[in-house]
Amino acid sequence: MIPAFRKAIIEVEDRNHDQQPNEENVLYQVKCIFGGLMEVEKQYFNPKKFCKAFKDIDGSSIDPYVQKDVDEFFNMFMDRIESLIKGTKEEKIMNNLFQGVLANEFICKGCPHYSEREEPFLAISLQVKNKNSV
């Protein structure tokens, strides 16, 4: 639902296309998902091939029947896409669309010392108290 991201991913040059079969190529599989959602009349796309191509830290394919932490998956997915599009004209799309900056301030009580450190992020975790659903 982010047209600029979808467009950039579909248009990015896949440098691994000749080195990897399509079944193992994550970028190719993401392009298939985006293209399928754009071109097909259905409101869903079966991500089975993506799940097989996308490997976790241990080199295992995603098991869609096992619940995982969404924040962990999102960060791993964004890192993987960022590395796959590095060196292309679309390489800054992730930062342009998703990156924010969090400022950490350190203020000394009783003295004039103050420091601030900025940290970039792609996702921010929020705790919601006393809510069963968001």
| pLDDT attached to residue 30 | 96
pLDDT tens profile 81-113: 999 999 999 999 999 999 999 999 989 888 888
Task: Provide mean pLDDT across the span 52-56.
Answer: 92
95 SS3 class: helix
> Which of 60, 130, 19 minimizes the C-alpha distance to 27?
19
- Evaluate if residue 44 carries a pLDDT over 90: no
| pLDDT attached to residue 43 | 82
- Match 């108290």 to its residue by tokens: 129
| pLDDT attached to residue 119 | 93
Q: What is the DSSP string of 1-64?
A: --HHHHHHHHHS--TTTTTS-GGG-HHHHHHHHHHHHHHSSSS----HHHHHH-B-TTSPBP-T
- Please, what is the average pLDDT of the chain? 89
| pLDDT attached to residue 134 | 65
- Evaluate if residue 72 carries a pLDDT over 90: no
